[in-house]
Amino acid sequence: MRQAVHIFFKDSRQFRVPILLLLPWTVAFAVIASWAWPLHARGPLAWAEKLALALPSVSTVLLPIAYVLLIVQVCHAEALPGHQQFWLTRPYRRSSLFGAKALFVVAYVLCPLFLAQGVILVRQGFGLPDILPGLLWEQVLIAAIIAVPALALSAVTARLTHVIFTLLVAAVTLVAVLMLESWGQLEWIRLTAGVVTLVAAAGVVLMLQFRGRRTVSARSLGVAGIAVALLGARLLPWPVAFALQSRLGASDGPEMRASLTRPGRTENPALEALRARLTRRTSFAFQLGGIADDTLTHCDAAEIRLEAANGTAWNSGLLLKRAPAPAAAPCSVVLSLPPDFVRATAGQPVRLRGTVYVTVFGQKQTTTVPLDRQGAEVPGLGACVAERDETSASVECRVALRAPRLIADSDDLRYMRAVGQLSYSPFPADLRIYPVLRAYGFVESTKEPGTNVRRALPSAVHISTIAPLAHVRLPLNEDDIRLQDFP
């Protein structure tokens, strides 16, 4: 431990300049972000104000990059690959060397970010005891997703140029991965799988390098780890993620069933034939039975297989509905059927087999938020405050550290838009540098009919939240249906 501290002090001295640049930057980020960012400008801003207000948004991108470069530089002070470094033949204990670098990351990366995020959250009205678990988890995420991979990358490289090249390749790969279809509220499962794989690979790389300097093996393993993480994210089936989410659900799913809503039979064969030629779109609606009265449902996805008596079959694949809009209405699926299949099955009975994936929402809670600066705490969503003038008011709800688990809505507000996705993640934080997410709503006074006189704004609005209760997979088995009956 003493040797680790000795090396740590050496590193602190060697990198005092970047440290002395990064720490004030982090402080400025914390101060400005906790003061007024993002600011709803009421008038033209001076250039200095514009610059100051740009700092937090720029920092959310550049601060992690700067910290990664600092970590890399610190590790390269005692580079592991290569044969010429002085420390290789000095009495360095490898565990102390790793300890020194880890200590540096904690002291100059995790602690400053922890304090900065804590300051921002407390200054924006969150109570420290409420946010502390999330704040600590946030540091675990920053360590796992930023610091550990940066340490592993610097353990298998000896020059900054190699690191920058690797980061550019990684950035391009990441962009390619982000272009995958989003899983919306289940995206956290795919991300977690990728991150766990990446951290495991980074851990093995660090162990190989710090224990035995087996650079070739470590590099190969690192590349393999990245490939597995990316392929895993690409190949992980959505139904598996849904099943996992279902197991993590707070309660068992209700005894539900899904059945097809059959519209009235069309008795005009000529019309059927014409429709079969003209359209390929068919809409199915499924009634969901067995749900409690005080719950709403959202169909997250469906998989449909249609089988005709003559042996012709068609698979829809997984049909994802990303933005949840829970309702009491039946679950509907619109299929784009190939014309050949429609023609081949015209007038024939068809069997429908498949699965519908449903999330049940409930525990509706309504909170009254006065349209003044006092605001109110909306459970599960965060602190909501309002700003108003004579004719309009805006309501802003702030959520700490992670995308909300609950769906918020208000009949009083013109719209209620959440910043960031809904997430069913059980963790208290997502990876983010700026730790506050916002949801906005807006209300405007309306005019008396036939006059220019505006009605007074209400003194308060009501915001309702509903929580996901269960994630249920329901089989679909319907025989003897005719596609022509489904418009």
Partner 1 sequence: MTGSLWTENLGKRFGRTRVLDGLTFSVEEGSVYGLVGPNGAGKTTTVKILMNIVPPSSGRAVLLGTASGDLSARQFQQIGYVSEGQELPGWMTVDYFMAYLRPFYPSWDDRRADELLTQLALPRDRKLKHLSRGMRMKVALASSLAYRPKLLVLDEPFTGLDPFVRDEFIEGLVESAQETTMLISSHDLAEIESFATHIGYLDRGRLQFSQSMASLTERFREVEVIVDREATLPPAWPAHWLRPEAAASVVRFVDSRFNQEQTIGQLRHLFGDMARIAVTPMSLRAIFVTLARESRKSALEA
Nearer to partner 1, 69 or 395 (CB): 69
Nearer to partner 1, 219 or 321 (CB): 219
User: Of the candidates 159, 75, 157, 58, which has an alpha carbon nearest to the alpha carbon of residue 109?
Assistant: 75
How far apart CA 414 and CA 150 sit, in angstroms, is 45
With CB under 8 A as the contact rule, the residue among 40, 42, 90, 247 that binds partner 1 is 90
With contact defined as beta carbons under 8 Å apart, do 103 and 4 qualify? Answer: yes
User: Of the candidates 152, 62, 141, which has an alpha carbon nearest to the alpha carbon of residue 102?
Assistant: 152
CB of 82 to partner 1, least distance (A): 8
Per-residue tokens: 400? 């700490």
With CB under 8 A as the contact rule, the residue among 93, 159, 277, 455 that binds partner 1 is 93
With CB under 8 A as the contact rule, the residue among 43, 44, 91, 237 that binds partner 1 is 91
Nearer to partner 1, 133 or 212 (CB): 212
How far apart CA 122 and CA 226 sit, in angstroms, is 37
Determine, following the binding rule CB under 8 A, whether residue 85 of this chain makes contact with partner 1: yes
With contact defined as beta carbons under 8 Å apart, do 148 and 181 qualify? Answer: no
Determine, following the binding rule CB under 8 A, whether residue 6 of this chain makes contact with partner 1: yes
How far apart CA 28 and CA 66 sit, in angstroms, is 15
Nearer to partner 1, 215 or 345 (CB): 215
Nearer to partner 1, 73 or 173 (CB): 73
Of residues 8-47, those binding partner 1 (CB under 8 A): 10, 14
CB of 99 to partner 1, least distance (A): 13
CB of 213 to partner 1, least distance (A): 9
How far apart CA 35 and CA 51 sit, in angstroms, is 14
CB of 86 to partner 1, least distance (A): 5
Q: What is the DSSP string of 285-347?
A: EEEEES--TT-EEEEEEEEEEEEETTS-EEEEEEEE--S---BSSPEEEEEE--HHHHHHTTT
How far apart CA 400 and CA 429 sit, in angstroms, is 8
Cis, peptide link before residue 24, omega less than 30° from 0: no
User: Of the candidates 401, 406, 327, 331, which has an alpha carbon nearest to the alpha carbon of residue 367?
Assistant: 406
CB of 56 to partner 1, least distance (A): 33
- Contact window for partner 1 (CB under 8 A) among 2-10, 140-148, 183-191, 417-425: 2-10
Strands 281-289 and 257-260: what pairing? antiparallel
Determine, following the binding rule CB under 8 A, whether residue 2 of this chain makes contact with partner 1: yes
- Contact window for partner 1 (CB under 8 A) among 66-74, 85-93, 98-106, 449-457: 85-93
How far apart CA 414 and CA 392 sit, in angstroms, is 11
Nearer to partner 1, 79 or 318 (CB): 79
- Contact window for partner 1 (CB under 8 A) among 86-94, 146-154, 395-403, 427-435: 86-94
With CB under 8 A as the contact rule, the residue among 92, 137, 341, 434 that binds partner 1 is 92
With contact defined as beta carbons under 8 Å apart, do 370 and 376 qualify? Answer: yes
Show the binding pattern over residues 324-343: x = contacts partner 1 (CB under 8 A), - = does not. Answer: --------------------
Of residues 59-78, those binding partner 1 (CB under 8 A): 77
Please list, in sequence order, all residues whose beta carbon lies within 8 angstroms of the beta carbon of residue 301, skipping any fewer than 6 positions away.
Answer: 238, 242, 318, 319, 320, 321, 356, 357
With CB under 8 A as the contact rule, the residue among 40, 42, 83, 373 that binds partner 1 is 83
Nearer to partner 1, 85 or 445 (CB): 85
How far apart CA 300 and CA 305 sit, in angstroms, is 17
Determine, following the binding rule CB under 8 A, whether residue 161 of this chain makes contact with partner 1: no
Residue given tokens 């400025």 in the structure block: 28
With CB under 8 A as the contact rule, the residue among 43, 47, 48, 86 that binds partner 1 is 86
CA atoms within 13 A on the CB side of 173: 15
- Binding residues for partner 1, rule: CB under 8 A, are 2-3, 6, 10, 14, 77, 83-86, 88-93
